[in-house]
Structure 1
Amino acid sequence: MKVFVLAVASYAISVLAQDIDALSSLIKEVTVTSDDSGFPSLFPSETVQLTDDVIAAISRELQDNSTASLFMFGSDALSTANSTAKSHCKPLPGDSSWPSPSEWNTFNSLLGGSLIKASPAAAACYGLEYSAEKCASIISDWDTEGFQTSDPTSVMDPLYVGRSCMPPGLNYTNTCDMGAYPTYVVNVSSVAQIQLAVNFARNKGLRFVVKNTGHDLIGKASGKGALSVWTHWLKDKAYYPNFVSKDYTGPAIKFGAGVQVREAYEYAKSVQATVLGGESQSVGLAGWSMGGGHSPLSSLYGLGADQIVSIEVVLANGQFITANAEQNSDVFWMLRGGGGSTIGVMTSLTMKAYPQLPATTVTFNFTAVDGPALDAFWTGIESYVNNMQAFVDAGTYGYYALAILEDSAGNERHEFQMRPFFAPNMTIAETKTLLSPWFDVLDMLNISYNPVYTYKDNFYDAWYIGFPEETVGSDTTMISSRLMPRYVFENDTSRNQLFKDGFKNAVDNGILVIGLQLSGKGIAVDPPTDTAVLPAWRNTTTHLQFVGRFSATADWAIIQNQTLFVTNYTSVLRTLAPDSGCYLSEADFLEPNLQDAFYGVNYPQLYELKKTYDPTSLFFALTAVGSEDWEVQVEDPLPYSWNNNGRLCRKTT
């Protein structure tokens, strides 16, 4: 035995291991042949794979068939026979079925020492891990995207890990517990490491989660007692000017699963191209696209899932496959819109690339005190609602927020923010012409709004100015949402009702309204028909979000009451658009009939594929496909499945 010291992020941890070099050397690079068809080759990280021959070599090296079997690939027969994998509840540390220290050591050895014994990101502010210098740095950086994404366990909404370890000043309990942070994390650098983790977790019946950036707003990357794979450092990129497949011919870019939006946009610009990604700089392309993925370019080119032409993925049985329109097409269909944490771990995706295009951004805000009266303020908002459909039909995107805010003196004011209005393929003059029906009303009302126009000759530069880094890491909000369709805006009665209940009355009830003006059916292309994207996206005019707010020191009863209030208030949107649905990555975990709301008519097929490809339910996340079969037995004073801080068990009824 020896001690292996592994540096990750800004700290070092010690992991006891067997002879790491001897075991990890059994996993070698697989020789992969390629042709000149333009189809993407595997990244170097994807050529290091686990195979049956490797597993046989592991068994010989260990001289222990029982331990070696923990890393075997799954099969329907094995899954049915494996009582651990089919057990009623996932084990937690201390349970008799929890892996032994020697099993963890062997696992780490096969990984080459990449196993991290997890600790909450703020642990250096408490107890035995306390360090005044590290704690000060954590407090300073906590709300930045870079800090949260570069930590192996942290998620951007700690409400869903149980608020268990927050920095001083933000911490509800003033203590530091693991909560729903995973127990172990694999810092992934190869496909083989993902395969080992998938097989080990499945064969031992462990709770299993996947983290790239932790950007999901329901904390899908967290899970009490879980083994996590952290794909954040799979950053490879490759440009293919002549990609050829069954359903697409043209330029494409292949991205590793860890590539984030800013990195993708930068790379696309470097090859004189444009790709679709989210508005946020830190969101990961992989998870974003699997949930559908809205973009500042969606009203022009559609959703993120529409752009994918090929995927590499490790399935729940541990096998590594390529999925596209020609091979494994059912997996390809499911992963394009059916959401993450369902049947596999994506290692890379290949996306359509478009020519570079110019864009204009417009940012501005106005308050009730910037005009003659509160009535004028609301008339200005109503004018935006009346013009929103025309803006979407022109291929534009708008990111807006509306709330009653309080200044440092305690004075309240109504405020609207456009941050920004994004007009691809438009000059400043053309953007002004498009906005004039709305801005003429604001001028007539004597509302001061001072728009700032910026034009760039390429998408990346325009996006970078328009979408700065966001503040994250807070546990003081929850979201409920609805995709509001075109027919609501085309009818005067329903549009007026939307303005009253979706904007004015919502704000008057203390709700923060955040909206995205966009369509999921771009005006420049026809969307593919072979994806699992929620059909309601194709008729959307705005993705409207209601945000409940509470203080960092609020007790769980206050949070529960506010959550229920916002969930119930969102019924005004469900009533206006009963046949629509919700964007599953920015939605309410208490959404009524969530399978229909998040997946629509696709859900029965998604559920059948889930049972086919993941019969032991290795993959679980709140609101994901198949989540209705399980419950998180939450340890906080909340109903079951209100966060991930609890034992995961199969439902008995």
Structure 2
Amino acid sequence: MCFMILSVLVVVFGCANGFLLVPDGFQKQPIKTSQACRTGNSSFCYPGMNCWPSQSEIAKFSDTFKKGDLLLPSHSLYRNLTVMKNLRVTKYPAMIAVVKDAAEIQECLYWARSKSMHIVVQSSGHDFQGRSTADGAFMIYLGNMTEISIKLNSTRKDCPYGEIVLGSGNQWQTVYKELDKVDRVMIGGSAHTVAIGGYTLGGGHSPISRMYGLAVDNLLEVEMITADSRLVVANDNGTTSTDINGRTTHSSNTDLIWASRGGGGGTFGVATKFTFRLHEAPKKMVRFSCNFPMYLAAQKMNIYDLVVEKFFSILPDMPKQWGGYFFLSIYPFQSVNQIGSVSFYFNHFGDWDSPSRAYMDHLLNFRPDLQRSCSYENLTSFWDYEKDANDALYTRNDVIGTLVQKESLNSSDLIEFLRKHITSPKTGSLTGMTAILLGGKMMEVGPQDTSVHPGFRKALMTLGIGASWGGNGDRDEEFSQYMQGLNTEFEKFGNGSYPNESTGKSPTWKQDFWGSNYARLEQIKKTWDPENVFMCQQCVGWDRW
């Protein structure tokens, strides 16, 4: 544990550097912000302020770690945990608690709250907008919480192929390998070093989501440490809560599991474990890869419009066994004459002889004279499909995104918008587009059954535009403003956006990320974190900070 020192508990009251020694058996009291240094919802205590704990207090706290560790900026491992995948949003917390179990998190929250620290939570640091880090904050790092427990014979309803319990720090490549050993699959991402925590809490799409839904549609249970250090287990049967003194209560209320199914990370508490439904692995899979140039320069031929119009025409009726990704890039490819690329990387959940496999012949047989390459490939398993996926590089970047419904596919304006901004990016940037296929099983879930934006339930793809640039930060604001301007135009082509892959500067973020579900999420936030202990940019309740 990271707060108990033998038989003495150090509790700091007020903003002074004094402390009170408390004997064994003392019951920890709930901390109110009025007891500490905060003067309002917006006031946290940061280094350099009078309320900041002394070096001796921090040292005593650090010495109490039994399993984990407390990293200060001078620690050799500190930098490894501060650099974000999006270099633009790298921040420098005052200290990082590398925790190993729920008990450590409970004690860390109790201590950090008593100091009125700004608390942030991180699993792997992939958040594009930096919501899992902050300058001068107390970071709780979950990357070492990597429990994996597979139960093939689940007693839960609608789990004929079992369930899996995962610690928040697990990364997808590890999980997929373990499931491959027992012929099971689950809904997860294709960025293999992404941890499951933020991915799941934001909604979680997958190359097999059209077959089995979003990650949150398969989330059975979550274990979470709330702002007042309660250990909470939430599922569809209710919520069981154990406070830091060991007292347990149960309620039939299901608000917290609902909020965990898409309400976003770093908001309602520190999610430590997730239990998911497993699915039977396919005996075989088929991969379909197809690539066209955007333009043939010598012929002055626009191939992009032809190919994208064709794809949009077949997408609404695509069998749910097909999923995957569609990419646009202007980068030169193969020759000076062939400019840019329109690429499709799809996976078929089933073998070659499945009737649904032949649907992709629509693209295979489309204008073979213009194709760079187009082919099917038999695969032995889902892991065989996933093992070669590439992760994003460390860059300075920004992203915008929208959930695209069927009606937008009939609009030439969307095709024109993408062509314009992919082929003529802002000078000094590399710009590309990624579409993740939605629909299928996701459409069978009601718009209020989970807390993701209701637009997910009618969307056929989530469409994202990303820009990356060089430098050491001198052009960050310039490019971010450029991307925000694009977003104003872009969002009209869809209804809602995926918070894990969207801008962090939208003035209409509540509607963009959660739509009509935001009001209930805000009420749940007020119930479980009334004093806004957990705050991050454009997360639920952010405007009260």
TM-score, with normalisation over the residues of structure 1? 0.72
Alpha-carbon shift at residue 383 of structure 1 (Å)? 1.7
Match among 215, 236, 241 for residue 304 of structure 1: 215
CA contact (8 A) 1:299 1:521 kept: yes
Alpha-carbon shift at residue 291 of structure 1 (Å)? 0.2
Q: Work out whether 1:587 is the aligned partner of 2:542.
A: no
Match among 405, 416, 423 for residue 500 of structure 1: 416
Match among 482, 485, 488 for residue 571 of structure 1: 488
Moved more, 620-629 or 82-91: 82-91
Alpha-carbon shift at residue 247 of structure 1 (Å)? 7.0
CA contact (8 A) 1:247 1:325 kept: no
Distance 1:535 1:548 in 2: 27
Alpha-carbon shift at residue 520 of structure 1 (Å)? 5.0
CA contact (8 A) 2:162 2:279 kept: yes
CA contact (8 A) 1:395 1:423 kept: yes
Identity %: 22
Residue in structure 2 matched with residue 480 of structure 1 by the alignment? 400
CA contact (8 A) 2:286 2:378 kept: yes
SS in 1 for 2:401: strand
Alpha-carbon shift at residue 541 of structure 1 (Å)? 1.0
CA contact (8 A) 1:371 1:377 kept: no
Distance 1:153-1:583 versus aligned 2 partners, 3 A rule:
same
Moved more, 423-432 or 333-342: 423-432
Alpha-carbon shift at residue 455 of structure 1 (Å)? 1.8
Distance 2:213 2:533 in 1: 32
Alpha-carbon shift at residue 244 of structure 1 (Å)? 2.8
Residue in structure 1 matched with residue 151 of structure 2 by the alignment? 240
Alpha-carbon shift at residue 349 of structure 1 (Å)? 0.6
Q: Deviations over 1:302-330 (max 9, x none)?
A: 10111110111111111112111112221
Distance 1:86-1:300 versus aligned 2 partners, 3 A rule:
farther
For 1:490-569, list aligned pairs within 5 A: 492=410, 494=411, 496-501=412-417, 503-510=418-425, 512-519=431-438, 521-522=440-441, 526=445, 530-552=449-471, 555-556=474-475, 559-569=476-486
For 1:36-55, list aligned pairs within 5 A: none
Distance 1:612-1:377 versus aligned 2 partners, 3 A rule:
closer
Match among 380, 383, 399 for residue 460 of structure 1: 383
Distance 1:102 1:114 in 2: 16
CA contact (8 A) 1:303 1:521 kept: no
Distance 1:200 1:61 in 2: 8
Letter in 2 for 1:403: S
CA contact (8 A) 1:362 1:454 kept: yes
Q: Note the residue ranges of structure 1 that are not aligned, 5 or more in a row.
A: 1-19, 27-56, 125-150, 162-179, 631-653
Distance 1:518 1:508 in 2: 23
Match among 341, 348, 357 for residue 273 of structure 2: 348
Distance 1:60 1:342 in 2: 27
Q: Work out whether 1:89 is the aligned partner of 2:89.
A: no
Moved more, 595-604 or 236-245: 236-245
Distance 2:457 2:110 in 1: 38
Q: Work out whether 1:116 is the aligned partner of 2:71.
A: yes
Match among 189, 207, 214 for residue 125 of structure 2: 214
Residue in structure 1 matched with residue 391 of structure 2 by the alignment? 470
Letter in 2 for 1:354: H
Alpha-carbon shift at residue 294 of structure 1 (Å)? 0.5
CA contact (8 A) 1:483 1:540 kept: yes
Distance 2:391 2:102 in 1: 31
Distance 1:338 1:344 in 2: 11
Q: Note the residue ranges of structure 2 that are not aligned, 5 or more in a row.
A: 13-17, 240-253
Distance 1:96 1:514 in 2: 48
Distance 1:105-1:521 versus aligned 2 partners, 3 A rule:
farther
Letter in 1 for 2:382: F
Alpha-carbon shift at residue 590 of structure 1 (Å)? 1.5
Distance 1:412-1:606 versus aligned 2 partners, 3 A rule:
farther
Alpha-carbon shift at residue 583 of structure 1 (Å)? 0.2
Letter in 2 for 1:331: L
CA contact (8 A) 2:87 2:394 kept: yes
Distance 1:25-1:90 versus aligned 2 partners, 3 A rule:
closer
Match among 330, 347, 370 for residue 255 of structure 2: 330
Distance 2:153 2:444 in 1: 19
Match among 368, 372, 386 for residue 449 of structure 1: 372
Alpha-carbon shift at residue 549 of structure 1 (Å)? 3.7
Alpha-carbon shift at residue 300 of structure 1 (Å)? 0.8
Distance 1:102 1:404 in 2: 56
CA contact (8 A) 1:403 1:513 kept: yes
Q: Between Structure 1 and Structure 2, which shows a larger proportion of helix residues?
A: 1
Residue in structure 2 matched with residue 79 of structure 1 by the alignment? 32
SS in 2 for 1:498: helix
Q: Deviations over 1:108-142 (max 9, x none)?
A: 12223711113598999xxxxxxxxxxxxxxxxxx
Alpha-carbon shift at residue 418 of structure 1 (Å)? 2.8
Distance 1:332-1:249 versus aligned 2 partners, 3 A rule:
farther
Alpha-carbon shift at residue 482 of structure 1 (Å)? 0.5
Q: Deviations over 1:446-483 (max 9, x none)?
A: 21321243322321112223x2x3242111x2111111
Alpha-carbon shift at residue 562 of structure 1 (Å)? 2.9
For 1:273-284, list aligned pairs within 5 A: 273-284=184-195
Residue in structure 1 matched with residue 9 of structure 2 by the alignment? 59
Distance 1:337-1:554 versus aligned 2 partners, 3 A rule:
closer
Moved more, 531-540 or 376-385: 376-385
Match among 148, 153, 170 for residue 82 of structure 2: 153
Distance 1:311-1:365 versus aligned 2 partners, 3 A rule:
same
CA contact (8 A) 1:532 1:602 kept: yes
Distance 1:460 1:370 in 2: 39
Residue in structure 2 matched with residue 102 of structure 1 by the alignment? 56
C-alpha root-mean-square deviation of aligned residues, in Å? 3.2
CA contact (8 A) 1:118 1:183 kept: yes
Distance 1:82-1:479 versus aligned 2 partners, 3 A rule:
same
Alpha-carbon shift at residue 525 of structure 1 (Å)? 6.5
Distance 1:520-1:212 versus aligned 2 partners, 3 A rule:
farther
SS in 2 for 1:219: coil
Distance 1:462-1:201 versus aligned 2 partners, 3 A rule:
same
Alpha-carbon shift at residue 381 of structure 1 (Å)? 2.7
Alpha-carbon shift at residue 548 of structure 1 (Å)? 3.0
Residue in structure 2 matched with residue 202 of structure 1 by the alignment? 113
Alpha-carbon shift at residue 570 of structure 1 (Å)? 2.9
